[in-house]
Amino acid sequence: MRVLLFCLLTFCWFETLSAAHAQGKLSGVVQDSATHEPLAFASVFLANTTLGATTTEKGEFEFPRVPKGTYDVVGSYVGYRLAKQTVTVGPAPQELKLQLAATGNQLGEVVVQPAPNKPEEFQRFTDMFLGGSTFSEQCHISNPEQVRVFFNDSTKELTAQTKGYLQVDNDALGYRLKYYGLYFAYDDEAGSITYYGQPVFEEMTPRDERQRQQWTANRLTAYKGSFMHFLRCVYTDRVKTEGFLAQQVRMVPNPRFERAERQRKLLLAHRPNGAFTPAEKDSLARWDRLPPAFATLYPAARPIDSLRRVSADGQHTFLRFSGELQVAHFGEAPDPRYNRPMGTLGPARTPYPAKRQVSRLKLQDGEAEIQADGSVINPLEVSVGDYWGFEKIGEFLPYDYVPSAEPAPVMPESKKQQ
């Protein structure tokens, strides 16, 4: 009877996957925007996936089987600017036209070659972009000359941009990542990292069957407990089933911080030239260490209706919650290179298992549209921290990645929703 139940659950799970990955056909042509002549052998890809194609001599391309969803279709050709068009793929075939603008120099134009990157600034960018995980250590940038890194001394912001694409070979997952139009920014004061662009994944060729199996295992490790995994579970209402626990974080203002801010303003007004006494310097240092607020955690798991909103027609799903969430995933140990305590905001007596990953999640405007593949329509609407903030390019998977089904971990009994 137990075997029959497991088979039924497995069947239901694959039925859900099948519905979430209904497919459609996408085709079109790539042209010169000025002459409308077709561009033969141009590259066309669906950003954040492994789906790519090369145009024919007539500039035509075709994707016969594209999972249902919204994509950025990107066209690339030597000597031309990138062209991007957002499309929503459904059961009906679609055709589109990508028009690329030439980047040829105008008559008399002076070309200024950018200064080479400072080694220490490029290394900082590499460390933060690739990440510090075990898988990140097996990633390397194969065309460093394509990226330009700049540090602003006044704003303390490190930025990096590419004119073409930045190529990263991930020897841990077996993907070659080409990140077109990359923009990266690190705000030293806020401690935040933002990057976006149009990446495409290419499958690398394993040297033998052992490496192929290792890549398969590593991809599953990168997927389980990831932000993409969590969003897929929110979309299909499998948060608890897949071993996730989402709890509300409550931020309580720190009255000592508010008093210190008032005192700081008075002191700065009294000493506009910055000539502080030793005692005043000591006070400023103590005030700097005060947190603006204290975070507490509601113990109950958030129900699915407080995590998502489905439109009346059932065609759109939104990640929706107020404030901030703590999201724990059970059954998957953190990367050994994660050097922060895997603690939680909950009481110390909570019997959390050793194998867990704890992350933080915040929405910029209260909700963000998500898709069945675990993507966010506008990634800038969400921000992640703690463990999800630690995972970078080393764990970056394409949105058309589908793991093999296996039994999900079970969260602690004390935390299961009643």
pLDDT digits (tens, 9 = 90+) for 101-114: 998 654 445 544 55
Residue 12: inside a domain: no
What is the spatial distance between Cα 392 and Cα 390, in angstroms, rounded to a whole number?
A: 6
Residue 213: inside a domain: no
> Among 43, 76, 100, where does a domain finish?
100
Same domain, 126 and 28: no
Q: Who's near 340: CB < 8 A, 6+ residues apart?
A: 386, 390
CB atoms within 10 A of CB 302: 18
pLDDT digits (tens, 9 = 90+) for 47-99: 999 999 999 999 999 999 999 899 999 999 989 999 999 999 988 999 999 99
Structure tokens at 272: 């506009």
Least confident of 142-156, 232-246, 247-261, 367-381: 247-261
Same domain, 71 and 90: yes
Residue 5: inside a domain: no
What pLDDT sits at residue 105?
Answer: 54
What pLDDT sits at residue 341?
Answer: 76
pLDDT digits (tens, 9 = 90+) for 361-418: 999 988 999 999 999 999 989 999 999 999 999 999 999 999 975 444 444 444 444 3
Residue 146: inside a domain: yes
What pLDDT sits at residue 327?
Answer: 95
pLDDT digits (tens, 9 = 90+) for 323-336: 899 999 998 889 99
pLDDT digits (tens, 9 = 90+) for 112-130: 455 678 999 999 999 999 9
Give the CATH number of the domain where residue 84 resides. 2.60.40.1120
Same domain, 241 and 327: yes
What is the spatial distance between Cα 157 and Cα 199, in angstroms, rounded to a whole number?
A: 23
Same domain, 391 and 249: yes
Same domain, 53 and 127: no
Residue 159: inside a domain: yes
> Among 48, 71, 100, where does a domain finish?
100
> Among 100, 124, 144, where does a domain finish?
100
Residue 210: inside a domain: no
Same domain, 174 and 230: no
Residue 414: inside a domain: yes
Same domain, 236 and 281: no
**What SS3 string covers 231-265?**
HHHHHHCCCCCCCEEEEEEEEEECHHHHHHHHHHH
Q: In the chain, how many domains are there?
A: 4
What pLDDT sits at residue 293?
Answer: 66
Same domain, 272 and 417: no
Same domain, 276 and 312: no
Q: Who's near 376: CB < 8 A, 6+ residues apart?
A: 231, 319, 368, 369, 370, 382
pLDDT digits (tens, 9 = 90+) for 310-326: 999 999 999 999 989 99
Q: Within 13 Å of residue 247, how many CA atoms lie on the same side as its CB?
A: 22
* Res 3 pLDDT > 60: no
pLDDT digits (tens, 9 = 90+) for 132-167: 999 999 999 999 999 999 999 888 899 999 988 999
Same domain, 352 and 365: yes
Same domain, 377 and 230: yes
**Mean pLDDT confidence for 239-248:** 94
Comparison of pLDDT for 74 and 254, the residue scoring more: 74
- Are the C-beta atoms of residues 372 and 400 closer than 8 Å to each other? no
What is the spatial distance between Cα 160 and Cα 127, in angstroms, rounded to a whole number?
A: 13
Pairing of strands 23-32, 94-100: parallel
* Res 290 pLDDT > 90: no
Residue 190: inside a domain: yes
Same domain, 284 and 385: no
CA distances from 351 to 73, 127, 258, 415, 417 (A): 47, 35, 35, 9, 15
Q: Which domain holds residue 158?
A: 115-205
Comparison of pLDDT for 44 and 348, the residue scoring more: 44
